[in-house]
């Protein structure tokens, strides 16, 4: 067997294994996300929705008790809470009574992404950061829901 043939066969085998692993991992996380979204979607619909579900990115928190890993997902705002569900099925809930203010920042926890500004939710214990598609609308909705002005 020539070296070229060996390299081609080995590369093909590695790609096949990676494809199988990728499909399995994707399936597991997709099920976890759907399992987290189904009951939560019904709860959210029962509440008074101020901002419906839309795509967003969780950028971490300085407040204790929140996940350290940044993650994509979906975000919604009701009259009771701000909810974010990651694509890996983790639910992050911030009751509106815990929000002391909202703001925006180009840099949050040392993270910068070109062209994006963080939505920063302030609580008594720390800050939680998100990327949202319409930052101004989110700042206005959160400010109105919590009675606090954006900083």
CATH number for position 22 = 2.30.29.30
Please report whether residue 65 resides in a domain: yes
pLDDT at residue number 151: 65
For the chain, the helix, strand and coil percentages under 3-state DSSP, each to the nearest 5:
40, 35, 25
- pLDDT tens-digit profile, the chain (151 residues): 788 898 999 999 999 999 988 888 878 777 877 877 777 777 877 788 899 999 999 999 999 999 988 999 999 999 999 999 998 888 999 999 999 999 998 988 877 777 889 999 999 999 999 999 999 999 999 999 888 766 6
Number of domain units in the chain: 1
**Tell me, what's the pLDDT at 37?**
74
Whether residue 151 is contained in a domain is answered as no
């Amino acid at each position: 067997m020539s070296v070229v043939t060996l390299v081609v066969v080995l590369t093909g085998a590695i790609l096949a294994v990676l494809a199988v692993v990728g499909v399995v991992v994707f399936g597991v996380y997709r099920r976890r996300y759907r399992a987290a979204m189904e009951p939560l979607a019904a709860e959210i619909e029962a509440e008074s929705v101020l901002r419906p579900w839309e795509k967003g990115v969780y950028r971490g928190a300085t407040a204790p008790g929140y996940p350290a890993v940044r993650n994509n997902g979906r975000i919604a705002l009701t009259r009771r809470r701000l909810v974010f569900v990651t694509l890996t099925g983790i639910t992050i809930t911030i009751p509106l009574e815990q929000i002391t203010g909202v703001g925006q920042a180009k840099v949050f926890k040392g993270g910068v992404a070109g062209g994006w500004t963080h939505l920063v939710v302030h609580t008594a214990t720390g800050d939680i950061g998100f990327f949202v598609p319409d930052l101004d609308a989110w700042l206005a909705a959160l400010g109105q829901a919590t009675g606090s002005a954006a900083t």
